[in-house]
Amino acid sequence: MDAGAASWLPLSAGERSVAIEVLVRGPLSRSEIARRLNLSAGSLTRLTKPLLESGLLVEVPDGTLPAEARQGRPSQPLDVVAESRSFLGFKITGDMVYGVVTTLRSEIAARHDRPLSTHEPAEVADLIAEMTVELARDHQGVAGIGIGVGGLVQDRSTVRDGPFLSWRDVPLGSMVEERTGLPVVVENDVEALVEAESWFGSGRGLDRFVVLTIGAGIGYGLVLGGKRVPFVGFGPGWVIDRYGPLTPDGVRGSAWSFLTIPGIRYQVQAALGRECSYEEILTMAAAGEPVAARVVAESAWALGTLVAQISNFAQPQKILLAGEGVGLMDVARKTVDEALQVQRHPLAPPVDLEARVSDFHDWARGAAVLAIQVLVLGGVDG
């Protein structure tokens, strides 16, 4: 990290609140910031002074505000210079590393992907270092790196359990820092995606927001009061229907057997006696092939059941369904909606369910947002 980025740290709790408000919602007038954060004019002046002196915030022309925000005494609004720093985000899957460059406001400026030929931690770290050089070549002011990994991450540095890579206690953060000379934040990939969507995406401005992902596994993230609630994840023991299909490990009726791509493929393969890709299964189901249609319908009902359970207990304002398995919704949305309706109170408000096919660059962007939060703003709650 260069001296300019380092000068932003550390931020006090009050300074951090102001910086986040402007970063996520700016440009904002001083009066609007004070109103949103319940601050007096004097307190706001005290908090913004060091942020302006460090260059994290700048005054911008009054014309950047909407007309209704420019009423009364003129005041130059505050904003961040989004292009003043760049951040690298990486998402590691079982066979690829996806990388992006983002601005301070998380807009993706460049992408770069490389295949993984090995899961050996040192070689994966080497590959990320090589990609860092390529991504940083045309983007000055790189302030840090975020890495998203499926599994359990400790202290935003060590992969305690990475099932898709067969990793245990891998100090990935320090390994990449040694190779790049940049500060590194490592986090569970779903938690990183939740932070990105809460700050800059579908959950922006919402008090209660859920991200549910289906693909190689199942991910879940809950935001309450604007803060992410820590969550370990759905294990194979989360049973939706105890009479449902088996997983290869012998667990019957779990969310994993119904909703993950490997679980769906396993069911179809067992019935047809041949392997089929997930896309092929969805195409066959849409065309009415009996086995694929049955498996997809059961998976859709299970998805509706899971969404209903989440809605009944967490009462989110919105649920974002994401991941590479979301194509299920294109084929069987009606079944998902029917299951959701049956398992909700008849007078309950409708669930705002947004389904979005997200590629792995979205997940890499999420990792970059974690880097922005931790390295620039001094940490995230939760």
In SS3 terms, the chain reads as CCHHHHCCCCCCHHHHHHHHHHHHHCCECHHHHHHHHCCCHHHHHHHHHHHHHHCCCEECCHHHCCHHHHCCCCCCCEECCHHHCEEEEEEECCCEEEEEEEECCCCEEEEEEEECCCCCHHHHHHHHHHHHHHHHCCCCCEEEEEEEECCEEECCCEEEEECCCCEEEECHHHHHHHHHCCCEEEEEHHHHHHHHHHHHCCCCCCCEEEEEEECCCEEEEEEECCEEECCCCCCCCCECCCCCCECCCCCECEHHHHHCHHHHHHHHHHHHCCCCCHHHHHHHHHHCCHHHHHHHHHHHHHHHHHHHHHHHHHCCCEEEEECCCCHHHHHHHHHHHHHHHHCCCCCCCCCCEEECCCCHHHHHHHHHHHHHHHHHCCCCCC
Please, which pLDDT band fits residue 63 given cuts at 50, 70 and 90? low
How many CA atoms does the CB half-sphere of 103 hold within 13 Å?
Answer: 12
247 within domain boundaries:
yes
From 80, 99, 124, the end of a domain falls on 80
Is residue 73's pLDDT more than 50? no
Residues 46 and 105 in one domain: no
Domain count, the chain: 3
Residues 22 and 127 in one domain: no
Residues 216 and 89 in one domain: no
Is residue 167's pLDDT more than 90? yes
Q: Which of 55-59, 262-266, 364-368 has the lowest mean pLDDT?
A: 55-59
CA-to-CA distance for 88 and 108, rounded, in angstroms? 10
The residue segments making up the domain with residue 100 are: 83-196+361-376
Q: What is the pLDDT of residue 84?
A: 82
Peptide bond preceding 236 in cis form (omega within 30 of 0): no
Reported as a single tens digit per residue, the pLDDT across 277-304 is 999 999 999 999 999 999 999 999 999 9
Reported as a single tens digit per residue, the pLDDT across 324-357 is 999 999 999 999 999 999 999 989 988 999 998 8
- We report the CATH number of the domain holding residue 17 as 1.10.10.10
264 within domain boundaries:
yes
Ramachandran angles phi, psi of 365, nearest 5°? -60, -40
Q: Which of 214-228, 235-249, 360-374 has the lowest mean pLDDT?
A: 235-249
178 within domain boundaries:
yes
Residues 322 and 369 in one domain: no
Q: What is the pLDDT of residue 56?
A: 85
Q: What is the pLDDT of residue 1?
A: 39
Instruction: Count other Cβ atoms within 10 Å, centred on residue 112.
Output: 18
Residues 110 and 192 in one domain: yes
How many CA atoms does the CB half-sphere of 311 hold within 13 Å?
Answer: 25
From 20, 46, 80, the end of a domain falls on 80
Residues 345 and 292 in one domain: yes
Are 184 and 144 a contacting pair, CB within 8 Å?
yes
From 48, 80, 112, the end of a domain falls on 80
382 within domain boundaries:
no
Q: What is the pLDDT of residue 261?
A: 95
Q: What is the pLDDT of residue 210?
A: 96
381 within domain boundaries:
no
26 within domain boundaries:
yes
C-alpha of 73 from chain center: 40
Is residue 106's pLDDT more than 80? yes
Residues 274 and 134 in one domain: no
- Of 4-13, 42-51, 272-281, give the range with the top mean pLDDT: 272-281
145 within domain boundaries:
yes
Please, which pLDDT band fits residue 64 given cuts at 50, 70 and 90? low
CA-to-CA distance for 229 and 211, rounded, in angstroms? 12
Q: What is the pLDDT of residue 379?
A: 60
Residues 66 and 119 in one domain: no
Residues 120 and 72 in one domain: no
State the residue for tokens 């001094």: 378
Residues 112 and 96 in one domain: yes
- We report the CATH number of the domain holding residue 92 as 3.30.420.40
CA-to-CA distance for 359 and 344, rounded, in angstroms? 31
Helices 278-287, 261-272: inter-axial angle, 10-degree rounding: 60
Residues 255 and 317 in one domain: yes
Please, which pLDDT band fits residue 72 given cuts at 50, 70 and 90? very low
Q: Which of 34-43, 104-113, 149-158, 227-236 has the lowest mean pLDDT?
A: 227-236
Q: Average pLDDT, stretch 300-322?
A: 95
Residues 171 and 232 in one domain: no
Is residue 358's pLDDT more than 80? no
Is residue 65's pLDDT more than 70? no
Please, which pLDDT band fits residue 71 given cuts at 50, 70 and 90? low
Q: What is the pLDDT of residue 223?
A: 94
Q: What is the pLDDT of residue 382?
A: 47
Q: What is the pLDDT of residue 380?
A: 54
326 within domain boundaries:
yes
The average confidence (pLDDT) of the chain is 89
Reported as a single tens digit per residue, the pLDDT across 232-259 is 666 667 888 888 888 777 778 899 999 9
